[in-house]
Amino acid sequence: MATELYHFVGGKKVKGTSGRFGDVYNPTTGELAAKAPFATAEEVRAVIQNSQDAFAGWAATSPLVRARVMFKFKELCEKHADEIATLISNEHGKVHSDAKGSLQRGLEVVEFACGIPHLLKGEYSDNVSRGIDLYSMRQPLGVVSGITPFNFPAMVPMWMFGVAIACGNTFVLKPSEKDPSCPLRLAELMMEAGAPPGVLNVVIGDKVAVDTIITDPNVKAVSFVGSTPIAHYVYSTAAAHGKRVQAMGGAKNHMIVMPDADMDQAADALIGAGYGSAGERCMAVSVAVPVGDKTADALIEKLTPRVRALKVGPSIAPDSEMGPLVTKEHLAKVKGYVDHGVKEGAKLVVDGRELKLQGYENGYFMGGCLFDGVKPEMKIYKEEIFGPVLSTVRVDTFEEAVRLPSEHEFGNGVAIFTRDGDAARDFANRVQVGMVGINVPIPVPLAFHTFGGWKSSAFGDTNQHGPEGVRFYTKIKTVTSRWPTGIRAGAEFNIPTLK
Protein backbone atom coordinates (compact mmCIF):
# COMPACT_ATOMS: atom_id res chain seq x y z
CA MET A 1 0.00 0.00 0.00
CA ALA A 2 1.37 3.42 -0.98
CA THR A 3 2.48 5.73 1.82
CA GLU A 4 0.65 9.05 2.09
CA LEU A 5 3.18 11.86 2.35
CA TYR A 6 2.72 15.25 3.99
CA HIS A 7 3.79 18.88 3.97
CA PHE A 8 6.34 20.05 6.56
CA VAL A 9 5.24 23.33 8.15
CA GLY A 10 6.28 25.00 11.38
CA GLY A 11 8.50 22.11 12.35
CA LYS A 12 5.70 19.52 12.01
CA LYS A 13 4.28 17.07 9.50
CA VAL A 14 1.02 18.51 8.16
CA LYS A 15 -1.53 16.38 6.34
CA GLY A 16 -2.74 17.72 3.01
CA THR A 17 -6.38 18.79 2.84
CA SER A 18 -6.95 19.33 -0.89
CA GLY A 19 -7.86 15.72 -1.71
CA ARG A 20 -5.56 15.94 -4.74
CA PHE A 21 -2.47 13.72 -4.88
CA GLY A 22 0.41 12.93 -7.20
CA ASP A 23 1.77 9.43 -7.58
CA VAL A 24 5.38 8.77 -6.54
CA TYR A 25 6.86 5.64 -8.10
CA ASN A 26 9.91 3.51 -7.49
CA PRO A 27 11.45 3.69 -10.99
CA THR A 28 13.46 0.50 -10.46
CA THR A 29 10.35 -1.65 -9.98
CA GLY A 30 7.64 0.55 -11.48
CA GLU A 31 5.63 0.17 -8.27
CA LEU A 32 3.59 2.95 -6.70
CA ALA A 33 5.55 3.95 -3.59
CA ALA A 34 3.74 6.98 -2.19
CA LYS A 35 0.99 9.53 -2.70
CA ALA A 36 2.12 13.17 -2.51
CA PRO A 37 -0.49 15.74 -1.46
CA PHE A 38 -1.00 18.66 -3.85
CA ALA A 39 -1.52 21.85 -1.85
CA THR A 40 -4.31 24.32 -2.53
CA ALA A 41 -3.52 28.01 -2.92
CA GLU A 42 -4.90 28.54 0.60
CA GLU A 43 -2.57 25.89 2.01
CA VAL A 44 0.44 27.46 0.27
CA ARG A 45 -0.46 30.90 1.58
CA ALA A 46 -0.69 29.46 5.10
CA VAL A 47 2.80 27.97 4.69
CA ILE A 48 4.15 31.33 3.50
CA GLN A 49 2.52 33.06 6.46
CA ASN A 50 4.10 30.57 8.83
CA SER A 51 7.49 31.45 7.36
CA GLN A 52 6.65 35.16 7.59
CA ASP A 53 5.85 34.76 11.29
CA ALA A 54 9.22 33.09 11.87
CA PHE A 55 11.23 35.65 9.94
CA ALA A 56 11.67 38.47 12.47
CA GLY A 57 13.09 36.21 15.16
CA TRP A 58 15.42 34.37 12.78
CA ALA A 59 16.67 37.59 11.14
CA ALA A 60 17.49 38.98 14.59
CA THR A 61 19.46 35.83 15.49
CA SER A 62 23.22 36.34 15.51
CA PRO A 63 24.96 35.18 12.32
CA LEU A 64 27.21 33.11 14.61
CA VAL A 65 24.20 31.20 15.94
CA ARG A 66 22.83 30.74 12.42
CA ALA A 67 26.23 29.38 11.34
CA ARG A 68 26.20 26.88 14.21
CA VAL A 69 22.78 25.63 13.10
CA MET A 70 24.18 25.10 9.61
CA PHE A 71 27.21 23.26 11.04
CA LYS A 72 24.87 20.96 12.98
CA PHE A 73 22.66 20.42 9.93
CA LYS A 74 25.71 19.42 7.88
CA GLU A 75 26.80 17.02 10.62
CA LEU A 76 23.34 15.40 10.75
CA CYS A 77 23.17 15.01 6.96
CA GLU A 78 26.57 13.32 6.97
CA LYS A 79 25.41 11.02 9.77
CA HIS A 80 22.28 10.08 7.76
CA ALA A 81 23.98 10.12 4.34
CA ASP A 82 23.15 6.51 3.44
CA GLU A 83 19.51 6.97 4.47
CA ILE A 84 19.18 10.17 2.39
CA ALA A 85 20.92 8.61 -0.61
CA THR A 86 18.56 5.62 -0.44
CA LEU A 87 15.54 7.94 -0.46
CA ILE A 88 16.94 9.58 -3.61
CA SER A 89 17.70 6.26 -5.31
CA ASN A 90 14.29 4.79 -4.50
CA GLU A 91 12.30 7.75 -5.87
CA HIS A 92 14.57 9.18 -8.57
CA GLY A 93 16.45 6.09 -9.80
CA LYS A 94 19.91 7.60 -9.42
CA VAL A 95 22.41 4.90 -8.40
CA HIS A 96 23.35 5.00 -4.72
CA SER A 97 26.92 6.21 -5.22
CA ASP A 98 25.74 9.06 -7.44
CA ALA A 99 22.98 9.96 -4.98
CA LYS A 100 25.52 10.12 -2.18
CA GLY A 101 27.85 12.23 -4.33
CA SER A 102 25.09 14.71 -5.14
CA LEU A 103 24.31 15.00 -1.42
CA GLN A 104 27.97 15.84 -0.80
CA ARG A 105 27.89 18.59 -3.45
CA GLY A 106 24.88 20.08 -1.71
CA LEU A 107 26.59 19.91 1.67
CA GLU A 108 29.56 21.79 0.25
CA VAL A 109 27.25 24.80 -0.20
CA VAL A 110 26.03 24.36 3.38
CA GLU A 111 29.68 24.27 4.44
CA PHE A 112 30.27 27.52 2.53
CA ALA A 113 27.24 29.02 4.27
CA CYS A 114 28.78 28.18 7.65
CA GLY A 115 31.12 31.11 6.98
CA ILE A 116 28.20 33.53 6.93
CA PRO A 117 29.54 35.81 9.74
CA HIS A 118 32.43 36.69 7.44
CA LEU A 119 30.35 36.71 4.24
CA LEU A 120 27.90 39.27 5.66
CA LYS A 121 30.56 41.77 6.64
CA GLY A 122 29.89 45.18 5.14
CA GLU A 123 32.21 48.05 4.27
CA TYR A 124 33.26 51.01 6.41
CA SER A 125 34.71 54.36 5.46
CA ASP A 126 35.90 56.56 8.31
CA ASN A 127 35.60 60.36 8.23
CA VAL A 128 34.35 60.68 4.66
CA SER A 129 33.59 64.30 5.52
CA ARG A 130 34.01 66.32 8.68
CA GLY A 131 32.82 63.99 11.48
CA ILE A 132 30.89 61.78 9.08
CA ASP A 133 31.38 58.04 8.74
CA LEU A 134 29.88 55.82 6.06
CA TYR A 135 29.16 52.11 6.32
CA SER A 136 27.10 49.41 4.66
CA MET A 137 25.44 46.23 5.89
CA ARG A 138 23.73 43.25 4.26
CA GLN A 139 20.32 42.29 5.62
CA PRO A 140 17.97 39.40 4.80
CA LEU A 141 15.03 39.85 2.45
CA GLY A 142 12.30 38.00 4.37
CA VAL A 143 10.48 34.91 3.10
CA VAL A 144 12.23 33.44 0.06
CA SER A 145 11.34 30.36 -1.93
CA GLY A 146 12.92 27.60 -3.99
CA ILE A 147 11.16 25.57 -6.70
CA THR A 148 13.38 22.59 -7.40
CA PRO A 149 13.62 19.77 -10.00
CA PHE A 150 13.37 16.00 -9.68
CA ASN A 151 16.92 15.21 -10.74
CA PHE A 152 18.70 16.55 -7.64
CA PRO A 153 16.26 16.38 -4.70
CA ALA A 154 19.00 17.08 -2.13
CA MET A 155 21.70 19.07 -3.92
CA VAL A 156 19.67 21.79 -5.63
CA PRO A 157 17.50 22.60 -2.57
CA MET A 158 20.66 22.90 -0.46
CA TRP A 159 22.24 25.16 -3.07
CA MET A 160 19.33 27.49 -2.36
CA PHE A 161 18.29 27.19 1.29
CA GLY A 162 21.82 26.69 2.61
CA VAL A 163 22.80 30.26 1.77
CA ALA A 164 19.33 31.79 2.16
CA ILE A 165 18.75 30.54 5.71
CA ALA A 166 22.29 31.37 6.83
CA CYS A 167 21.70 34.94 5.62
CA GLY A 168 18.71 35.21 7.97
CA ASN A 169 15.81 34.54 5.60
CA THR A 170 13.09 31.97 6.11
CA PHE A 171 12.59 29.52 3.26
CA VAL A 172 9.60 27.87 1.55
CA LEU A 173 10.69 24.88 -0.53
CA LYS A 174 8.45 23.50 -3.27
CA PRO A 175 10.27 20.33 -4.38
CA SER A 176 9.43 18.16 -7.35
CA GLU A 177 6.32 16.10 -6.71
CA LYS A 178 8.06 13.13 -8.37
CA ASP A 179 10.54 12.55 -5.50
CA PRO A 180 9.65 14.66 -2.43
CA SER A 181 10.71 12.32 0.41
CA CYS A 182 14.32 13.52 0.49
CA PRO A 183 13.45 17.26 0.83
CA LEU A 184 10.97 16.41 3.58
CA ARG A 185 13.71 14.54 5.47
CA LEU A 186 16.11 17.47 5.04
CA ALA A 187 13.56 19.80 6.66
CA GLU A 188 13.26 17.44 9.63
CA LEU A 189 17.04 17.43 10.03
CA MET A 190 17.12 21.24 9.86
CA MET A 191 14.76 21.37 12.83
CA GLU A 192 16.88 18.80 14.66
CA ALA A 193 19.89 21.01 14.00
CA GLY A 194 18.26 23.81 15.99
CA ALA A 195 16.53 25.97 13.39
CA PRO A 196 13.30 27.43 14.82
CA PRO A 197 9.99 26.17 13.40
CA GLY A 198 9.08 27.93 10.17
CA VAL A 199 12.64 28.64 9.08
CA LEU A 200 12.47 25.82 6.51
CA ASN A 201 9.01 24.79 5.35
CA VAL A 202 8.26 22.26 2.59
CA VAL A 203 5.05 22.31 0.59
CA ILE A 204 4.30 19.76 -2.13
CA GLY A 205 2.21 20.68 -5.13
CA ASP A 206 1.80 21.32 -8.82
CA LYS A 207 1.21 24.49 -10.85
CA VAL A 208 -1.27 25.76 -8.25
CA ALA A 209 1.51 25.83 -5.65
CA VAL A 210 4.02 27.37 -8.05
CA ASP A 211 1.65 30.13 -9.14
CA THR A 212 0.80 30.97 -5.53
CA ILE A 213 4.46 31.21 -4.54
CA ILE A 214 5.52 33.40 -7.47
CA THR A 215 2.65 35.87 -6.97
CA ASP A 216 2.32 36.04 -3.15
CA PRO A 217 3.46 39.48 -1.90
CA ASN A 218 5.11 37.98 1.21
CA VAL A 219 7.62 36.04 -0.93
CA LYS A 220 10.52 38.38 -1.68
CA ALA A 221 12.69 36.17 -3.89
CA VAL A 222 12.29 33.01 -5.95
CA SER A 223 14.96 30.57 -7.08
CA PHE A 224 14.03 28.01 -9.71
CA VAL A 225 15.72 25.12 -11.55
CA GLY A 226 13.91 23.23 -14.30
CA SER A 227 13.09 23.36 -18.01
CA THR A 228 13.57 26.55 -20.02
CA PRO A 229 9.87 27.21 -20.78
CA ILE A 230 8.97 26.97 -17.08
CA ALA A 231 12.06 28.94 -16.07
CA HIS A 232 11.00 31.77 -18.38
CA TYR A 233 7.45 31.61 -17.02
CA VAL A 234 8.62 31.72 -13.40
CA TYR A 235 11.05 34.54 -14.13
CA SER A 236 8.62 36.74 -16.01
CA THR A 237 5.71 36.18 -13.62
CA ALA A 238 7.66 36.55 -10.38
CA ALA A 239 9.57 39.59 -11.67
CA ALA A 240 6.29 41.20 -12.70
CA HIS A 241 5.20 40.78 -9.08
CA GLY A 242 8.26 42.65 -7.82
CA LYS A 243 10.38 39.69 -6.74
CA ARG A 244 14.03 38.92 -7.19
CA VAL A 245 14.32 35.87 -9.45
CA GLN A 246 17.03 33.46 -10.50
CA ALA A 247 15.60 30.85 -12.86
CA MET A 248 17.85 28.16 -14.32
CA GLY A 249 16.59 26.41 -17.44
CA GLY A 250 17.61 23.70 -19.87
CA ALA A 251 20.92 22.82 -21.44
CA LYS A 252 22.63 21.20 -24.39
CA ASN A 253 26.20 20.77 -23.22
CA HIS A 254 28.90 20.12 -25.80
CA MET A 255 32.28 18.46 -25.36
CA ILE A 256 34.88 19.39 -27.96
CA VAL A 257 37.47 16.69 -28.68
CA MET A 258 40.57 18.05 -30.40
CA PRO A 259 42.83 15.83 -32.57
CA ASP A 260 45.60 15.94 -29.94
CA ALA A 261 43.33 14.80 -27.07
CA ASP A 262 43.92 11.56 -25.20
CA MET A 263 41.13 9.50 -26.79
CA ASP A 264 40.78 7.08 -23.88
CA GLN A 265 40.50 9.97 -21.44
CA ALA A 266 37.96 11.72 -23.67
CA ALA A 267 35.88 8.56 -24.15
CA ASP A 268 35.82 7.82 -20.42
CA ALA A 269 34.82 11.42 -19.72
CA LEU A 270 31.94 11.20 -22.21
CA ILE A 271 30.69 7.94 -20.71
CA GLY A 272 30.54 9.39 -17.20
CA ALA A 273 29.21 12.80 -18.24
CA GLY A 274 26.77 11.52 -20.86
CA TYR A 275 25.30 8.48 -19.14
CA GLY A 276 25.76 9.14 -15.42
CA SER A 277 22.40 9.57 -13.66
CA ALA A 278 20.86 8.24 -16.92
CA GLY A 279 21.64 11.60 -18.51
CA GLU A 280 19.16 13.36 -16.20
CA ARG A 281 21.53 16.22 -15.31
CA CYS A 282 21.41 19.81 -16.50
CA MET A 283 25.21 19.56 -16.80
CA ALA A 284 25.22 16.22 -18.64
CA VAL A 285 27.26 16.20 -21.84
CA SER A 286 24.80 15.33 -24.60
CA VAL A 287 26.84 16.41 -27.64
CA ALA A 288 30.31 15.18 -28.55
CA VAL A 289 32.11 17.39 -31.08
CA PRO A 290 35.21 15.69 -32.52
CA VAL A 291 37.34 17.93 -34.73
CA GLY A 292 38.17 16.13 -37.98
CA ASP A 293 36.94 12.81 -39.33
CA LYS A 294 40.02 10.97 -38.10
CA THR A 295 39.32 12.19 -34.54
CA ALA A 296 35.63 11.32 -34.91
CA ASP A 297 36.32 7.80 -36.15
CA ALA A 298 38.77 7.16 -33.30
CA LEU A 299 36.31 8.56 -30.73
CA ILE A 300 33.37 6.48 -31.99
CA GLU A 301 35.59 3.40 -31.95
CA LYS A 302 36.46 4.05 -28.30
CA LEU A 303 32.92 4.97 -27.25
CA THR A 304 30.97 2.13 -28.86
CA PRO A 305 32.16 -0.77 -26.67
CA ARG A 306 32.03 1.42 -23.56
CA VAL A 307 28.38 2.36 -24.17
CA ARG A 308 27.44 -1.26 -24.84
CA ALA A 309 29.20 -2.35 -21.65
CA LEU A 310 27.37 0.09 -19.35
CA LYS A 311 26.14 -1.72 -16.25
CA VAL A 312 22.47 -0.75 -16.17
CA GLY A 313 20.75 -2.04 -13.06
CA PRO A 314 18.68 -1.38 -9.93
CA SER A 315 19.48 1.98 -8.38
CA ILE A 316 20.51 0.49 -5.03
CA ALA A 317 22.68 -2.30 -6.49
CA PRO A 318 26.33 -1.53 -5.63
CA ASP A 319 27.65 -2.45 -9.09
CA SER A 320 25.09 -0.45 -11.12
CA GLU A 321 26.59 2.36 -13.19
CA MET A 322 23.26 3.64 -14.52
CA GLY A 323 19.81 3.22 -13.06
CA PRO A 324 16.32 3.76 -14.49
CA LEU A 325 14.75 6.99 -15.68
CA VAL A 326 12.51 8.81 -13.24
CA THR A 327 9.04 7.98 -14.64
CA LYS A 328 7.37 5.83 -17.26
CA GLU A 329 6.31 8.99 -19.12
CA HIS A 330 9.85 10.36 -19.22
CA LEU A 331 11.17 7.01 -20.46
CA ALA A 332 8.69 7.13 -23.35
CA LYS A 333 9.68 10.73 -24.11
CA VAL A 334 13.40 9.88 -24.30
CA LYS A 335 12.75 6.84 -26.50
CA GLY A 336 10.66 9.09 -28.73
CA TYR A 337 13.65 11.39 -29.24
CA VAL A 338 15.76 8.39 -30.29
CA ASP A 339 13.05 7.31 -32.75
CA HIS A 340 13.00 10.83 -34.17
CA GLY A 341 16.79 10.92 -34.54
CA VAL A 342 16.69 7.73 -36.61
CA LYS A 343 13.95 9.20 -38.83
CA GLU A 344 15.99 12.37 -39.33
CA GLY A 345 18.89 10.32 -40.68
CA ALA A 346 21.33 10.22 -37.80
CA LYS A 347 23.26 6.96 -37.46
CA LEU A 348 22.29 5.06 -34.28
CA VAL A 349 25.56 3.31 -33.45
CA VAL A 350 24.32 1.88 -30.13
CA ASP A 351 20.60 1.34 -29.53
CA GLY A 352 19.53 0.94 -25.90
CA ARG A 353 15.79 1.34 -26.38
CA GLU A 354 14.82 -2.30 -25.89
CA LEU A 355 16.84 -3.04 -22.77
CA LYS A 356 14.98 -5.22 -20.24
CA LEU A 357 16.25 -6.34 -16.87
CA GLN A 358 15.24 -9.77 -15.60
CA GLY A 359 13.17 -9.34 -12.47
CA TYR A 360 12.69 -5.62 -13.16
CA GLU A 361 10.63 -5.77 -16.34
CA ASN A 362 8.30 -3.04 -15.06
CA GLY A 363 11.16 -0.66 -14.22
CA TYR A 364 11.85 2.43 -16.33
CA PHE A 365 15.11 1.21 -17.85
CA MET A 366 16.80 1.84 -21.15
CA GLY A 367 20.39 1.36 -22.22
CA GLY A 368 22.77 4.00 -23.46
CA CYS A 369 22.21 5.30 -26.99
CA LEU A 370 24.98 6.69 -29.20
CA PHE A 371 24.37 8.67 -32.39
CA ASP A 372 26.89 9.62 -35.07
CA GLY A 373 26.36 11.92 -38.03
CA VAL A 374 24.05 14.28 -36.14
CA LYS A 375 23.46 17.63 -37.86
CA PRO A 376 22.75 21.00 -36.17
CA GLU A 377 19.32 21.24 -37.82
CA MET A 378 18.13 17.95 -36.25
CA LYS A 379 15.66 17.94 -33.36
CA ILE A 380 17.90 15.65 -31.28
CA TYR A 381 20.61 18.31 -31.48
CA LYS A 382 18.48 21.37 -30.88
CA GLU A 383 16.39 20.13 -27.93
CA GLU A 384 17.32 18.89 -24.48
CA ILE A 385 16.63 15.14 -24.29
CA PHE A 386 17.48 14.64 -20.60
CA GLY A 387 18.25 10.95 -21.01
CA PRO A 388 21.12 8.56 -21.79
CA VAL A 389 21.53 9.71 -25.38
CA LEU A 390 24.83 11.06 -26.74
CA SER A 391 24.87 12.78 -30.15
CA THR A 392 28.09 13.12 -32.15
CA VAL A 393 28.39 16.17 -34.39
CA ARG A 394 31.47 16.10 -36.61
CA VAL A 395 33.24 19.37 -37.48
CA ASP A 396 36.29 20.05 -39.63
CA THR A 397 37.93 22.93 -37.78
CA PHE A 398 38.53 24.45 -34.37
CA GLU A 399 36.57 27.54 -35.44
CA GLU A 400 33.50 25.39 -36.13
CA ALA A 401 33.95 23.78 -32.71
CA VAL A 402 33.87 27.21 -31.05
CA ARG A 403 30.91 28.34 -33.09
CA LEU A 404 28.67 25.30 -32.53
CA PRO A 405 28.01 25.71 -28.76
CA SER A 406 28.22 29.50 -29.06
CA GLU A 407 25.33 29.61 -31.51
CA HIS A 408 23.14 27.08 -29.70
CA GLU A 409 20.01 28.31 -27.92
CA PHE A 410 21.33 27.01 -24.60
CA GLY A 411 24.54 28.07 -22.90
CA ASN A 412 24.86 26.16 -19.66
CA GLY A 413 28.12 24.18 -19.81
CA VAL A 414 30.78 23.20 -22.33
CA ALA A 415 34.08 21.32 -22.25
CA ILE A 416 37.16 20.97 -24.42
CA PHE A 417 39.61 18.07 -24.32
CA THR A 418 43.06 18.92 -25.67
CA ARG A 419 46.76 18.99 -24.84
CA ASP A 420 47.11 22.43 -26.45
CA GLY A 421 47.06 25.15 -23.80
CA ASP A 422 46.75 27.95 -26.35
CA ALA A 423 43.70 26.33 -27.98
CA ALA A 424 42.10 25.71 -24.58
CA ARG A 425 42.67 29.29 -23.44
CA ASP A 426 41.32 30.72 -26.70
CA PHE A 427 38.27 28.44 -26.51
CA ALA A 428 37.51 29.40 -22.90
CA ASN A 429 37.73 33.11 -23.72
CA ARG A 430 35.59 33.06 -26.85
CA VAL A 431 32.91 30.40 -26.35
CA GLN A 432 29.50 31.87 -25.47
CA VAL A 433 28.65 29.53 -22.60
CA GLY A 434 28.46 30.21 -18.86
CA MET A 435 30.59 27.34 -17.47
CA VAL A 436 33.64 25.93 -19.23
CA GLY A 437 35.66 22.79 -18.52
CA ILE A 438 39.19 22.22 -19.82
CA ASN A 439 39.79 18.47 -19.75
CA VAL A 440 36.94 18.43 -17.19
CA PRO A 441 33.67 17.04 -18.62
CA ILE A 442 31.18 18.43 -16.07
CA PRO A 443 32.44 21.89 -15.06
CA VAL A 444 30.18 22.47 -12.04
CA PRO A 445 31.94 25.12 -9.94
CA LEU A 446 32.63 24.42 -6.28
CA ALA A 447 30.50 26.03 -3.60
CA PHE A 448 32.72 29.08 -3.04
CA HIS A 449 32.33 30.03 -6.71
CA THR A 450 29.01 30.35 -8.49
CA PHE A 451 26.83 28.24 -10.80
CA GLY A 452 24.92 29.59 -13.78
CA GLY A 453 24.52 29.42 -17.52
CA TRP A 454 23.94 31.93 -20.31
CA LYS A 455 21.29 32.53 -22.95
CA SER A 456 18.16 30.37 -22.58
CA SER A 457 19.79 28.34 -19.81
CA ALA A 458 19.31 31.09 -17.20
CA PHE A 459 17.01 34.03 -16.50
CA GLY A 460 17.94 36.72 -14.00
CA ASP A 461 21.16 38.54 -13.19
CA THR A 462 22.41 36.43 -10.29
CA ASN A 463 23.74 32.88 -10.18
CA GLN A 464 23.37 30.07 -7.66
CA HIS A 465 25.44 29.81 -4.46
CA GLY A 466 28.88 31.31 -3.76
CA PRO A 467 29.20 35.09 -3.28
CA GLU A 468 26.44 35.60 -5.86
CA GLY A 469 24.08 33.61 -3.65
CA VAL A 470 24.83 35.84 -0.66
CA ARG A 471 24.09 38.91 -2.76
CA PHE A 472 20.87 37.38 -4.10
CA TYR A 473 19.48 36.57 -0.66
CA THR A 474 20.39 39.89 0.98
CA LYS A 475 19.75 43.57 0.39
CA ILE A 476 22.37 46.20 1.07
CA LYS A 477 21.77 49.12 3.40
CA THR A 478 24.16 52.10 3.53
CA VAL A 479 24.33 54.33 6.61
CA THR A 480 25.78 57.83 6.70
CA SER A 481 26.50 58.74 10.33
CA ARG A 482 27.44 61.97 12.10
CA TRP A 483 27.53 62.52 15.85
CA PRO A 484 27.19 66.02 17.38
CA THR A 485 30.56 67.68 18.00
CA GLY A 486 29.30 70.88 19.63
CA ILE A 487 29.67 72.86 16.41
CA ARG A 488 26.55 74.07 14.61
CA ALA A 489 27.03 74.68 10.91
CA GLY A 490 23.53 76.03 10.34
CA ALA A 491 21.01 74.85 7.77
CA GLU A 492 22.38 73.59 4.45
CA PHE A 493 20.12 73.69 1.39
CA ASN A 494 22.48 72.24 -1.17
CA ILE A 495 23.06 68.51 -1.71
CA PRO A 496 25.74 67.29 0.77
CA THR A 497 29.23 67.17 -0.73
CA LEU A 498 32.68 66.33 0.57
CA LYS A 499 34.37 69.15 2.49
CB 143 within 8 A of CB 172: yes
Is residue 182 annotated as a catalytic residue, yes or no?
A: no
Measured distance CA(32)–CA(23) in Å, rounded: 7
Of 260, 266, 210, 208, whose CA–CA distance to 235 is shortest? 210
Region at 397 (left for phi over 0; alpha for psi -120 to 50; beta for the rest): beta
Closest to 92 in 3D by CA, of 251, 337, 330: 330
Q: Alpha carbon of 311 to those of 336, 367, 434: distances in Å?
A: 23, 9, 32
Active-site hit among 114, 167, 282, 369 = 282
Q: Is 343 exposed, middle or buried (0-12, 13-18, 19+ CB in 10 A)?
A: exposed
* SS3 state of residue 380: helix
Checking phi first, is residue 11 left (phi over 0); if not, alpha (psi -120 to 50) or beta?
Answer: left
Give which of 320, 316, 275, 323 is closest to 96, Cα–Cα: 316
Residues 6+ apart with CB under 8 A from 419: 258, 260, 261, 262
At residue 113, the 3 state secondary structure works out as helix
List residues with catalytic annotation: 282
